[in-house]
Amino acid sequence: MTREERYTAILEHFRRQAPVVTTELEFASAFQLLVATLLSAQCTDKRINQITPALFRRYPTPQAMAEAGVDDVFEYIRTVSYPNAKAQHLVEMARMLVSDFHGEVPSTTEELTRLPGVGRKTANVLQAVWFGKPTMAVDTHVYRVSHRLGLVPPKADTPLKVEQELLRHIPQDDVNRAHHWLLLHGRYVCQSRTPKCDECPFSSFCPKRMKGSKLE
């Protein structure tokens, strides 16, 4: 099976099975999505959804969080991964939103990645989910699934290279959904340590299952 045929088969499956799909993070504004996405690094969406309601009640806007102390924010997020660094980033990010962007979340990669704690992946999530732009956020799930299913070559050995390779092959109308399709497939089926190959709709042509495969 060629790479193009893989894309066709996989995308057709997801279009049928999940025509409407979005992030599992819970939010009510661009600012809340930005906060939740920043917090979700190296942490599960389930955990983030457990702690953000109280955080958002206390700090519903950039202006409110900009006036907070780092220690105060830390108390709300202490159960997530790297809470000290994330609390620092959240307060600094909110202050920059107020000082540089009039309290509004910007919509471009260049502006978003100026914000403390915001990398390309987080910027792409904001652009895709909130602003509806055809951007591809590559997290650990998307990276792993893309390699395991043979959607990208081994030389695509960084998140940026995987992003660029996926964007070359996925139709623009599917890009936003494709991020979630691949992410959720990695989260629930093609898991890192114990992939559920018997439940995978792509097992018949997955390179990982070929004899002598060195894919992990």
Cα–Cα dist 206/185, whole Å: 13
Kindly state the tokens that stand for 156: 């695509």
Instruction: Name the active-site residue from 45, 100, 133, 139.
Output: 139
Cα–Cα dist 119/194, whole Å: 29
Assign residue 102 a region: left if phi > 0, alpha if psi is -120 to 50, beta otherwise? left
What angle, rounded to 10 degrees, do the helices at 172-188 and 140-148 form?
Answer: 90
User: Does residue 173 have an active-site annotation?
Assistant: no
Cα–Cα dist 118/107, whole Å: 13
Instruction: Name the active-site residue from 45, 86, 121, 174.
Output: 121
Q: Vertex 30, ends 142 and 168: CA angle to 5°?
A: 35
**Residue type for position 139:** D
Please choose, from the candidates 48, 54, 30, the residue with its C-alpha nearest in 3D space to the C-alpha of residue 125.
30
User: Does residue 121 have an active-site annotation?
Assistant: yes
Just list the catalytic residues. 121, 139
